[in-house]
Structure 1
Amino acid sequence: MFRARQRRRRADGGAGGRTALSLAARHPHLVERVILQSSVGFLPWPDRLTRLGGRAVFDGRVEAGTWAILRLLLRVAPSLGLRLLLRDLSVLPVGQVLRNLSAGERSLLICLFASMRSGRGFVADMLPVPDCAAQVTQPTLVMATRHDRSVPFTHAESLVATIPSAELVVSQADSHMIWFGPGYSRLAATIAAFLA
């Protein structure tokens, strides 16, 4: 997720982490702080299999159908839909990830996945972009979990090693979705303190 916040206070990443970093590097007067959560860095990403599969099912001409099928699955068999989607987001067994989510978090994830569309965004995210991390001068908070299958933890380590004023916060979350599961309240407090 990428957001340029009101009053130009911060830019933050996720799938848009590289966009946030490019904005911070090229237009430092627009960004005071950078928060990257489960963010793709400038290491090679994704792997070849994901790249090929992603282009096949998320190409701009077919992605609406892909999401329609996923929404239908989430409606008629929500547990199966969650298992299918979460298995690519965690290195842990998907059953364990699901057990560690509260009923409310499972419902929220179903709603989130059911409302998603990617347009040409996911395919665009897979394109290589120039590495500008060393040019980011703003204080930067990098948050990631070692359990993320979607974006390997090495991306967070690489960003922290390259961005001059970066701090790494390791999440204990079970998946790429660090906002779900036990421990996010600690991350939220860290974000609040960073922005204060």
Structure 2
Amino acid sequence: MTISERETITAHLAAGPVEYRLEGDGPQTVVIFHGGHMRAALALGEEVFTTSGHRVLAPSRPGYGRTLLATATTPAAFADVTADLCHTLGTEQVAAVVGISAGGRTAVTMAARHPHLVRRVILQSAVGFGPWPDDRRTYLGGRLVFNARVEAASWAVVRLLMRAAPRAGLRLLLRDLSTRPVRQVMDGLSEHDQAELLALFTLMRSGAGFVNDMLPVPDCTTQVTQPALIIATRTDRSVPFTHAESLAAAISQAELVESRADGHMIWFAPDYPAITEKIKDFLATA
């Protein structure tokens, strides 16, 4: 993967503006809901879909990029907006909705609300419907550091640190993503992977979206009837493995795949190639 900022488009729908990006030219579309601090312009882990012949539709979730928070303040509302976007683009069925991290609840909600549009669900390090962040200190810290009034300054400090002392900056951010000692996490990353993560963290912003992501959301997992593939690791400090377990227990056709990653960023783990094969097989099922 190569982390860089990519060109996006803004659709002006009835609910409001939605920023999105299209990648690939396959006959089937996969909708990807990004995680916290991300947006449509940043691609993470999409190669498995484009190389398997799928087109990727990646919208910026509300409060991120050029999608206003007012467009849809809840996962349910944005699921409906995304369904409208799909129809506007001429997509009457999607091969899968993919929920990454904080985007997981939107993916699940879209599958529940639009079963005729969504064929499958893929969740990666996904937030479930329990309290999140689980730790009150982390929750309060997130609201303080990443609220819309100060997040630009917070990320400016991160970028400055990444330029001045990249390894120290990377250790600082990875510490909150893994339950393992940060030295062990760093040792498990190649120089290329470290460079990719540095590029990713440098481009992140929180907008008005991250604080909104932390609000409670009605649980609709039991309403999901499509097959679901849930991928997570027990060493994730950001989204504990219990979230994946609760999602797998509540979705009737769910399969839980345990990643051996050293933390939240499962795409940089040695076993990710095997997981990509699992994803491809899942997408190929009738």
The alignment's TM-score, normalised by the length of structure 2, stands at 0.67
Counterpart for residue 129 of structure 2: 42
Query: Which structure 1 segments of 5+ residues have no match?
Result: none
User: Aligned-pair distance for 1:60?
Assistant: 0.5
Say whether 1:161 aligns with 2:249. yes
Distance 1:119 1:8 in 2: 28
The alignment's TM-score, normalised by the length of structure 1, stands at 0.97
Say whether 1:180 aligns with 2:180. no
Query: Which structure 2 segments of 5+ residues have no match?
Result: 1-31, 35-55, 58-90
Distance 1:13 1:193 in 2: 18
From 114, 118, 121, the equivalent of 1:27 is 114
Distance 1:164 1:183 in 2: 26
Percentage of pairs with the same residue: 63
Letter in 2 for 1:139: P
Distance 2:281 2:192 in 1: 27
User: Aligned-pair distance for 1:181?
Assistant: 2.4
From 22, 26, 33, the equivalent of 1:2 is 33
Q: Residue 105 of structure 1 contacts residue 181 of structure 1 at CA under 8 Å; is this kept in 2?
A: no
More helix by share: 1
User: Aligned-pair distance for 1:55?
Assistant: 0.5
Q: 3-state SS of the aligned residue for 1:53? A: helix
Counterpart for residue 221 of structure 2: 133
- Deviations along 1:45-92, one digit per CA (max 9) or x if unpaired, are 112111100000000011011111101111111001101100000000
The runs of 4+ residues in structure 1 deviating greater than 2 Å are 3-7
Say whether 1:100 aligns with 2:188. yes
**Alignment RMSD, CA only?**
1.2
Distance 1:117 1:152 in 2: 23
Q: Residue 143 of structure 1 contacts residue 156 of structure 1 at CA under 8 Å; is this kept in 2?
A: yes
Counterpart for residue 16 of structure 1: 103
- Deviations along 1:137-191, one digit per CA (max 9) or x if unpaired, are 1110000000000001001010000001100000000010000121110111100
Q: Residue 102 of structure 1 contacts residue 181 of structure 1 at CA under 8 Å; is this kept in 2?
A: no
Q: Residue 147 of structure 2 contacts residue 206 of structure 2 at CA under 8 Å; is this kept in 1?
A: no
